[in-house]
């Protein structure tokens, strides 16, 4: 999967698992980070889903703090 | 091939000679493990090895397991891990500390690679206690990858505990093999450090050069350890089986302020393999971490991913980091990162090694 496909797959996974508004971008010099936009109160749920997101080909899962 | 210390050449005929003489026994994989220790390195013995027991000060030992000397091909994949684990599991903290003291006594004089971190401060302090300040020199290798906050701690501890201390400029960043940031980057950095430090020790007449590697390090991916082995650097904390937790506890008992100090590896460890290590990136990481420290966070890392910074904070500090997400983002953008990310899994040691396809890519 390319980075865009990985992001779409990660978003689908998050949507199916109770994070309907989640958006994912690939960040890092090797696009190895799934940068996820979710509300702060959803971070625990996101952390629980991190292994599944990494299984899509990301090395790290992070909350996007960019404004 | 390695050669034995003061022993006759030995054959590879499938037997381990025990007792230093004719008493021989088959090597067994059950019960106690036997280890091969030559030229200050150790390997677990395998069926098929032949070895001679070494006695006297040249021989190390681990608990009841006397080390043996053997002539065989080096196998770095089987190094200190099993050796230390076997001893550490079967001994008390007091016994491991006693073993450390014995090792240091055997050195006579020592030059310690001294970063100002938990391990090297403890080691330097014990060396001074055991050998006296006139037989110990703690040396800090300073370069762009060495954090200023660590230097302050190194200075303070040396001053407070009477540890003779000097700094040594290292220039690993000038080595293109280091700057390219391969998975064995630490090998080139440590090679630079140990080449200079062993030269200094020889010039000043110190018998041994030692570092603060501990027993836990032996189980981690540490290509720098190979450089240490090549330069004959001793790791008495590891050899005594002292883990990080042991060293923290003993540091507390010795009244060292570092006892609960978070681990503080060099700044280059924040840059993922394959992304070049440059002075500008190192400086950016240092400024970012200083800013986060100023916000009251204690255990964290800023990982440099080009235009993006990925912050890892200890799980205990994660709720606070979430509450301060806006401030964290602002601070890191102010030091030049366009994107700021907070890792949801939090700080963990060796995070940049995660997912590496080949961990043993050594020269």
Sort out which chain B residues have CB atoms less than 8 A from A60's CB and list them. 310, 343, 345, 351, 354
Q: What is the pLDDT of residues B110-159, one digit of tens each?
A: 999 999 999 999 999 999 999 999 999 999 999 999 999 999 999 999 99
- Mean pLDDT for B260-270 is 89
B172-184: average pLDDT? 93
The enclosing H or E element of B44 equals strand B41-44
Does residue A19 sit at the B interface (CB-CB below 8 Å)? no
pLDDT above 80 (res B327): yes
Q: Which residue has the higher pLDDT, B93 or B265?
A: B93
This prediction's pTM: 0.73
pLDDT class of B28 with cuts at 50, 70, 90: very low
B90-260: CATH topology: Rossmann fold (3.40.50)
pLDDT at B201 over 80: yes
pLDDT recorded at residue B224: 82
Residue B349 has pLDDT above 80, yes or no: no
Shortest distance between the Cα of A27 and any Cα of chain B, in A, equals 7
pLDDT bracket for residue B199 (50, 70, 90)? very high
The answer to whether A57 contacts chain B (CB < 8 Å) is no
Closest Cα to residue B331, out of B299, B298, B363, B284?
Answer: B284
Contact A62 B344 (CB under 8 A): yes
For residue A14, give both structure tokens.
């998050």
Q: What are B15's two structure tokens?
A: 């037997």
d(CA B120, CA B99): 17
- Mean pLDDT, chain A, integer: 93
pLDDT at residue B166 above 90? yes
- Check CB contact of A61 with chain B, cutoff 8 Å: yes
Q: For chain B, give the percent of residues with pLDDT over 70.
A: 70
pLDDT band at B59 (very low <50, low <70, confident <90, very high): very low
Q: Residue range A52-56: average pLDDT? A: 94
Region B243-269 average pLDDT = 93
Q: Shortest Cα distance from A56 to chain B (angstroms)?
A: 13
Reported confidence tier of residue B23, pLDDT bands at 50, 70, 90: very low
Confidence check: pLDDT of B217 > 90: no
Which alpha helices (DSSP H) does chain B contain, by range?
80-89, 93-107, 118-131, 148-160, 176-179, 185-204, 223-230, 236-239, 244-253, 279-294, 318-323, 325-334
Instruction: Kindly state the average pLDDT of the residues A27-47.
Output: 92
Residue B1 has pLDDT above 60, yes or no: no
Instruction: Average the pLDDT over each of B17-26, B35-44, B259-268 and give the range with the smallest value.
Output: B17-26
pLDDT grade, residue B88 (50/70/90)?
low
pLDDT surpasses 80 at B93:
yes
Domain edges within chain B: 16-78, 90-260, 278-351
**At the top level of CATH, which class does the domain B278-351 belong to?**
alpha beta
pLDDT digits (tens, 9 = 90+) for A24-33: 999 998 899 9
Closest-CA residue in chain B for A64?
B341
Query: Is it the case that residue B84 has pLDDT exceeding 70?
Result: no
Nearest CA in chain B to A43: B344
Q: Does the pLDDT of residue B57 top 90, yes or no?
A: no
Residue A8 forms contact with B (CB below 8 Å):
no
Provide ipTM, 2 decimals: 0.97
pLDDT confidence of residue A30: 87
Residue B97 vs residue B36, higher pLDDT: B97
Averaged pLDDT for residues B186-193: 94
Contacts A–B by Cβ distance under 8 A = 77
CB contact at 8 A, A11 and A61: no
Nearest C-alpha in B relative to A30: B305
**Angstrom distance (rounded) from CA B141 to CA B307:** 29
Residue B118 has what pLDDT?
96
The whole-chain average pLDDT of chain B stands at 78
Kindly determine whether residue B310 and residue A40, on different chains, have CB atoms separated by under 8 Å. Answer: no
Is a pLDDT exceeding 90 seen at residue B255?
A: yes
Report which of B212, B208, B193, B205 is spatially closest to residue B110, judged by C-alpha positions: B208
- Higher-confidence position of B44 and B210: B210
Closest CA to B30 of B43, B17, B47: B47
Confidence label for B215 from pLDDT (cuts 50, 70 and 90): confident
Contact B136, B128 (CB under 8 A): yes
Inter-chain contact A47–B308, Cβ cutoff 8 Å? no
- The count of C-alpha atoms lying within 13 angstroms of the C-alpha of B96, restricted to the half-sphere facing its C-beta, is 26
Work out the pLDDT band at B262, boundaries 50, 70, 90: confident
């Amino acid at each position: 999967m390319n980075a865009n496909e990985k992001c779409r797959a990660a978003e689908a996974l998050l949507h199916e698992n109770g994070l309907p508004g989640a958006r994912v971008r690939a960040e890092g010099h090797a696009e190895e980070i799934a940068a996820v936009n979710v509300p702060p109160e959803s971070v625990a749920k996101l952390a629980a889903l991190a292994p599944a997101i990494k299984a899509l080909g990301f090395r790290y899962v992070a909350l996007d703090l960019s404004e | 091939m390695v050669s034995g210390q003061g022993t006759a050449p030995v054959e590879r005929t499938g037997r381990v000679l025990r007792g230093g003489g004719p008493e021989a026994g088959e090597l067994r994989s059950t019960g106690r493990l036997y280890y091969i220790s030559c030229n200050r390195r150790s390997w677990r013995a395998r069926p098929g090895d032949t070895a001679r027991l070494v006695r006297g000060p040249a021989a190390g030992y681990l608990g009841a397991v006397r080390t043996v000397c053997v002539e065989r091909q080096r196998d770095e994949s089987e190094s200190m891990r099993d050796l230390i684990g076997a001893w550490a599991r079967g001994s008390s903290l007091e016994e491991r500390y006693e073993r450390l003291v014995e090792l240091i006594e055997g050195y006579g004089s020592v030059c310690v690679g001294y970063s100002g971190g938990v391990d090297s401060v403890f080691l330097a302090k014990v060396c001074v206690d055991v050998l006296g300040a006139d037989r110990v020199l703690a040396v800090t290798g300073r370069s762009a990858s060495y954090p200023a906050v660590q230097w302050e701690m190194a200075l303070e501890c040396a001053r407070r505990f009477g540890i003779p201390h000097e700094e040594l400029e290292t220039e690993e960043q000038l080595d293109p093999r280091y700057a390219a940031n391969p998975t064995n980057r630490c090998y080139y950095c440590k090679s630079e450090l140990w080449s200079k430090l062993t030269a200094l020790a020889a010039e000043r007449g110190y018998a041994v050069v030692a570092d603060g590697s501990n027993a836990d390090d032996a189980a981690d991916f540490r290509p720098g350890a190979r450089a240490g082995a090549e330069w004959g650097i001793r790791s008495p904390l590891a050899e005594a089986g002292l883990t990080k937790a042991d060293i923290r506890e003993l540091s507390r008992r010795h009244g060292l302020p570092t006892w609960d100090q978070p681990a503080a590896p060099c700044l280059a460890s924040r840059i993922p393999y394959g992304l070049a290590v440059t002075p500008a990136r190192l400086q950016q990481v240092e400024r970012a971490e200083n800013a986060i420290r100023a916000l009251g966070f204690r255990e964290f890392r800023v990982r440099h991913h080009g235009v993006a910074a990925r912050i890892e904070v200890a799980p205990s500090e994660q709720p606070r980091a979430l509450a301060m997400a806006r401030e964290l983002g602002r601070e890191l953008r102010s030091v030049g990162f366009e994107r700021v990310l907070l890792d949801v899994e939090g700080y963990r040691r060796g995070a940049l090694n995660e997912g590496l396809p080949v961990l043993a890519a050594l020269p």
